[in-house]
């Protein structure tokens, strides 16, 4: 599987450039919504990425190796791509992933819940509850 499409790569690079520009201007760093989710199809490891460095390999985001302590930081795209799992599998990109919230919110929820997967469930429930409060459009 191709872990990053050109479109996602371009968006991740744009986020990195926007963050760098904010730092250079002395402004607050943007709190981006994750653009991509990677996962281990036979384990609990999950990564969310918001930025891609100039080297085209260093991603920034939230990493959860399945030990109950998700962490913000950098990780390597080439290392993710090189992982060989049982049954000939590798790390995959979640094609249906929707960021839903800024990375800081993901980090808070993932740390409280113990995993990115649990945080994703909480965010989905919050979104569904918010939609339930909206009036019906069925006439």
pLDDT of residue 50: 98
Q: CB of 49 within 8 A of CB of 34?
A: yes
Quote the pTM value: 0.91
Tens of pLDDT, residue by residue over 5-44, are 999 999 999 999 999 999 999 999 999 999 999 999 999 9
d(C-alpha 25, C-alpha 97), whole Å:
32
Q: Which residues have CB under 8 Å from 96's CB, separation 6+? A: none
Annotated domain spans of the chain: 6-131
- Give whole-number Cα distances, 42 to 7, 115, 120, in Å: 27, 16, 18
Tens of pLDDT, residue by residue over 57-78, are 999 999 999 999 999 999 999 9
Tens of pLDDT, residue by residue over 74-122, are 999 999 999 999 999 999 999 999 998 999 999 999 999 999 999 999 9
């Amino acid at each position: 599987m191709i872990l990053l499409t050109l479109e996602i790569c371009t968006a991740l690079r744009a986020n990195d450039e926007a963050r760098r520009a904010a730092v250079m201007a002395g402004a607050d760093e943007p709190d981006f919504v994750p653009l991509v989710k990677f996962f281990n199809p036979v384990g609990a490891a999950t990564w969310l990425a918001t930025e891609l460095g100039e080297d085209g390999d260093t991603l920034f985001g939230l990493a959860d190796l399945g030990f109950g302590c998700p962490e913000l930081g950098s990780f390597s795209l080439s290392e993710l791509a090189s992982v060989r799992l049982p049954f000939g599998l590798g790390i995959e990109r979640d094609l249906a992933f929707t960021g839903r919230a800024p990375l800081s919110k993901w980090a808070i929820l993932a740390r409280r819940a113990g995993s990115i997967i649990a945080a994703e469930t909480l965010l989905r429930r919050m979104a569904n509850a918010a939609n339930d409060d909206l009036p019906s459009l069925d006439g």
